Amino acid sequence: MENYMKLEIPAKSCNEAFARAAVAAFSVQLDLSVEELADIKTAVSEAVTNSIVHGYPDMKGTVKITCRIIENILEIEVTDCGIGIENIGQAMQPLFTTGSENERSGMGFTVMQTFMDELAVESEPGVGTTVKMKKRIRG
């Protein structure tokens, strides 16, 4: 089975839940377990929130979400055209954040790595960031 979807939303925090629900609705065709669905929703939530909060800290923009199903693998890409990440390695360290200390835990990439089978981050300062995640569905 092969299928895909594309979604583009304004980078507003009120759209995070919609993006998470849209990806969840698309992914259920894979006959997911409740745990797999929860993992996917959590990882998407973190990726979209990162784009909104860190990609566009003081500006408007869009977040693009692409999902593909190939056999039993769900591939998800979350892309923004925001400020980008200067040091991806540092950004992926647990507890590192560019947000205020009161606001964020700095665990977004760690959460994504925990709940997905693969995680890759591509970014260029001033151009934007793409987070690529894969989840193999055991079903």
Report which residue type is found at 133: M
Residue 68 is among the residues annotated as catalytic for this protein: no
The catalytic position among 46, 71, 75, 103 is 46
The catalytic position among 75, 104, 122, 136 is 104
**CA–CA separation, 76 vs 68, rounded Å?**
7
Residue 104 is among the residues annotated as catalytic for this protein: yes
Residue 46 is among the residues annotated as catalytic for this protein: yes
Which are the catalytic amino acids?
A: 46, 50, 104
